[in-house]
Amino acid sequence: LRILDVGCGGGILEQDLAILGGTIVGIDLGPETIRVAKAYTAALNPSLTNISYFCESIEHHAKCNYETYDAVVASEVIEHVNEPEIFLENCIKCLKPGGSIFITTFNKTWSSWLLGIIFAEYIWGFIPRGTHTWDKFFDPRDVEKMLENFQVLVEKRKLGETVYTDKRGKANKPRKYDSHV
């Protein structure tokens, strides 16, 4: 099983995937991020030899890795790219026929804006200010429409946890969602 993690960040997801088996490749645009991912892997489990990291874009990676992977993971990435359609197209190019893409991202709701930007960036300071832009958050249907343009089928969409209900007991839209394509 070959898995590509696009926008792998510090390599946290790769550890768990590699322990389960298969060959894991993480790519990210940040050279420092790739250095951190490699150091994290070496420190946490130096015996893992089935993880590789590369500092490159999905566009470049897709040119050299057409139909290479059984699965592609894009976790909390699409909301950071300037051209999401091109991003998704290149993720799809990397998939073997019958492969799967797993996408997680913020839902475009007021609660995701409040918690994902205002609280996380400005009040709690968990992540640097300016990391997220409201205009780049997606309604799940918008991502599905983009994927349909590439003739792929959304197998399952799971919405994240409901943060709260209003006084009438009506659930609000979830802050995050993930899709299996």
- β-partners of residue 153 are none
Distance CA 166, CA 118 (A): 20
Whose tokens are 């909390």? That residue is 76
DSSP string, 60-109: HHHHH-TT-EEEEEEES-GGG-S-HHHHHHHHHHTEEEEEEEEEEEEBSS
Q: What is the pLDDT of residues 106-164, one digit of tens each?
A: 888 888 889 888 998 899 998 899 988 988 998 888 988 898 888 888 776 665 543 33
Strand order in the sheet with 2-6: 51-55, 23-28, 2-6, 69-75, 95-106, 176-180, 156-159
Orientation of helix 140-148 relative to helix 84-93, angle to 10°: 50
pLDDT at position 161 is: 41
pLDDT at position 56 is: 98
pLDDT at position 158 is: 63
Q: Which of 172 and 147 is assigned the larger pLDDT? A: 147
13: burial class by Cβ within 10 Å (0-12, 13-18, 19+)?
middle
Distance CA 92, CA 121 (A): 32
Containing 23, the helix (H) or strand (E) segment is strand 23-28
Q: What is the pLDDT of residues 28-69, one digit of tens each?
A: 999 999 999 999 999 988 888 999 999 999 999 999 999 999
Q: Tokens standing for 136?
A: 């780049």
Q: Tokens standing for 98?
A: 């019958």
38: burial class by Cβ within 10 Å (0-12, 13-18, 19+)?
middle
pLDDT band at 87 (very low <50, low <70, confident <90, very high): very high
pLDDT at position 164 is: 33
**Of 23-37, 74-88, 89-103, 124-138, which gets the smallest average pLDDT?**
124-138
pTM: 0.84
pLDDT at position 144 is: 87
Domains, the chain: 2-106+136-162 (3.40.50.150)
Residue 43 DSSP SS3? helix
- Per-residue pLDDT for 173 more than 80? no
